[in-house]
């Protein structure tokens, strides 16, 4: 099995991730600028993928303690639907599986 992931963020894209050449560069723009990022934080496949995209120098792991001091990083320990709602309400960035994102948007959850 495999899954497609999408990096979603506020429509005005304050971090400028749309212009990033790679997703790794996009994640670096988010962390360098301290833009709010919602993480599932639940050791799911999506969370595991997200962890692999951060700059290793940040030391972000699957453990909640690893993000202490990163005020921009919100470790939710919640399911994808809850996290998408949080990101939408806070104008934050989030990594989602594509199918859940498309369903969320189709059902009026917004996040464009």
Within a domain: residue 12?
yes
Containing structural domain, residue 31: 5-106
Within a domain: residue 111?
no
Q: 106: pLDDT confidence band, cut at 50, 70 and 90?
A: confident
Average pLDDT value for residue range 85-110? 89
Read off the CATH number of the domain in which 32 is found. Answer: 3.40.190.10
Select from 50, 46, 36, 28 the least CA-distant residue to 91.
36
- pLDDT at position 111, please? 62
Average pLDDT value for residue range 68-84? 91
Q: Measured between alpha carbons, how far is 20 from 33 in angstroms, rounded to an integer?
A: 14
Within a domain: residue 50?
yes
Within a domain: residue 39?
yes
* Element at 38 (helix H, strand E): strand 37-39
Within a domain: residue 92?
yes
**Total domains present in the chain:** 1
- pLDDT at position 1, please? 66
Taken in order 77, 4, 91, 59, is the CA torsion positive or negative? positive
Give percent of the chain with pLDDT exceeding 90: 67
- pLDDT at position 6, please? 94
């Amino acid at each position: 099995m495999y899954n497609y992931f999408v990096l979603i963020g506020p429509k005005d894209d304050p971090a400028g991730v749309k212009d990033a050449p790679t997703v790794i560069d996009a994640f670096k723009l988010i962390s360098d600028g301290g833009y709010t990022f919602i993480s599932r934080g639940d050791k799911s496949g999506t969370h595991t993928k997200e962890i692999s995209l951060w700059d290793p120098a940040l030391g972000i792991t699957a453990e909640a303690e690893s993000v202490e001091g990163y005020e921009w990083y919100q470790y939710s320990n919640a399911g994808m639907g809850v996290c998408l709602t949080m990101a939408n309400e806070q104008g934050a960035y989030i990594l989602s599986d594509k199918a859940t994102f498309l369903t969320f948007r189709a059902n009026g959850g917004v996040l464009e």
